[in-house]
Amino acid sequence: MLDLIATRRDLHQIPEIGLEEFETHAYLMAKIAELTKGKSFVSIKTWQTGIVVKLTGTAPEKTIGWRTDIDGLPIIEDTGLDFKSRHEGRMHACGHDMHMTLALGVLEQLLVTQPKQNLIFLFQPAEENEAGGMLMYEAGMLDGAFRPDEFYGLHVRPDLKVGDIATNTSTLFAGTCEVKVSFKGTGGHAAFPHHANDALVAASYFITQVQTIVSRNVDPIEGAVVTFGSMHAGTTNNVISETAYLHGTIRTLTQEMNDLTQKRIREIAQGIATSFDLAVEIDLRQGGYLPVENNPALAEELMTFFDQAEGVNLIDIAPAMTGEDFGYLLSKIPGVMFWLGIDTPYALHHPKMSPDEAALAFGVKQISNFIKTKAG
Ligand SMILES: CC(=O)N[C@@H](CCC[C@H](N)C(=O)O)C(=O)O
């Protein structure tokens, strides 16, 4: 029997960046081999660090998919836990260690008796950076006999209690777009600004002006987020910067609003470059981070199931501006994503984020029951 807490703690100690999840992949493969030993109805495929496990049903009419992500973040952990990250500058601060453990736990439950329907378990890399779900889909890993007819997945949520399951029948997460802007001017001596062309000043105007996208271009009822989390320019006090680099993210609930926001970022960056007479490079990359759109009928069914399940507090929740490449998979295959409460005061991506591990046993029990009713 899988020890959920020990498994989660093992995984917590080995966080890796997207597409570099080699130790995690090896750990998962070993656990999956242990769980599926002697089960002739199981087949396994891998793609880079990703894994797909298929359980062939006894009389399948459809294939039900469960998806987990396996990557960590470039964050220095500050939880003080005795099982904290062993990988310098890497942390499972988005709870993917919980997601992987839940997937293994549910897999174990579904292996007890061969199900009637086919089941697919997708362990995808790079949810945080390279849209690994999209990459695996495009590589054909979910083609043919491995293609689910319905797809389900979850994300842990710190501000919900253990026992809470939250989702809705429409949009759950935003579509995102990664933004990179580089201004290139002419460096020089601080004392002779008239001989230089200061990229740092241009970047400062840019960062101020992009704030007007949300306040002046976006419908206030609809909303959007434009956040630049990183800005680098210059080396010391008396040298004028030749270059300035900004790295940010757009969050919107519709693709139309994402397109509008991308267009305004481009226009503002180009306008600033023209007015300061310097060069600009703009890189806007949406990849697979489409809005996470729940299938209304399947979401209704899932919500009714959990609403009636003993011990579950079902919440019909508003969308959040988090992103997820599960949005890409749900644009191809109907399904549902939901939040699972982990009750910790620290937000996702915070160096002190530390889930209540009681969510593991609760999640495995409830999700297994849900999938068993669907899979027979
Ligand atoms: C759940 C979560 O935190 N997801 C990430 C997804 C990142 C998408 C992309 N790399 C971007 O930054 O736009 C999030 O930050 O919401």
ipTM value for the complex: 0.95
Contact assessment for residue 127 and residue 71, using Cβ atoms and an 8 Å cutoff: yes
Contact assessment for residue 285 and residue 177, using Cβ atoms and an 8 Å cutoff: yes
Q: Which atom of ligand 1 is nearest to the CA of 250?
A: 13
Please tell me the distance from the alpha carbon of residue 303 to that of residue 172, in angstroms, as a whole number: 13
Q: Give tens-digit pLDDT for 42-65.
A: 999 999 999 999 999 999 999 999
Q: Is 32 helix (H, G, I), strand (E, B) or coil?
A: helix
Nearest protein Cα to ligand 1, atom 11? 178
Mean pLDDT within 302-329: 97
Contact assessment for residue 199 and residue 278, using Cβ atoms and an 8 Å cutoff: yes
State the chain's mean pLDDT as an integer.
97
Kindly report the CATH class assigned to 4-173+291-375: alpha beta
Nearest residue to 146 via CA among 71, 50, 69: 50
CA of 128 to the centre of ligand 1 (A): 5
Q: Is 119 helix (H, G, I), strand (E, B) or coil?
A: strand
Q: Which atom of ligand 1 is nearest to the CA of 127?
A: 6
Please tell me the distance from the alpha carbon of residue 317 to that of residue 297, in angstroms, as a whole number: 16
Domain extent listing, the chain? 4-173+291-375, 175-285
Residue 243, beta-bridge partner list: 184
Nearest protein Cα to ligand 1, atom 14? 323
Q: Give tens-digit pLDDT for 208-245.
A: 999 999 999 999 999 999 999 999 999 999 999 999 99
Please tell me the distance from the alpha carbon of residue 127 to that of residue 244, in angstroms, as a whole number: 28
- In CATH terms, is domain 175-285 a member of 3.30.420.610? no
Single pTM value for the model: 0.94
Please tell me the distance from the alpha carbon of residue 216 to that of residue 212, in angstroms, as a whole number: 5
Of the chain, the percentage scoring pLDDT greater than 70 comes to: 100
CA of 246 to the centre of ligand 1 (A): 17
Q: Is pLDDT of 376 > 90?
A: no
Please tell me the distance from the alpha carbon of residue 18 to that of residue 70, in angstroms, as a whole number: 8
CA of 71 to the centre of ligand 1 (A): 12
Query: Which of 249, 265, 283 to probe ligand 1 with, by most ligand atoms within 8 A of CB?
Result: 249
Contact assessment for residue 294 and residue 336, using Cβ atoms and an 8 Å cutoff: yes
Q: Give tens-digit pLDDT for 124-134.
A: 999 999 999 99
Give one DSSP letter per residue of 232-265, joined into a string: EE-SSTTEE-SEEEEEEEEEESSHHHHHHHHHHH
289: Cβ below 6 Å to ligand 1? yes
Q: Give tens-digit pLDDT for 95-138.
A: 999 999 999 999 999 999 999 999 999 999 999 999 999 999 99
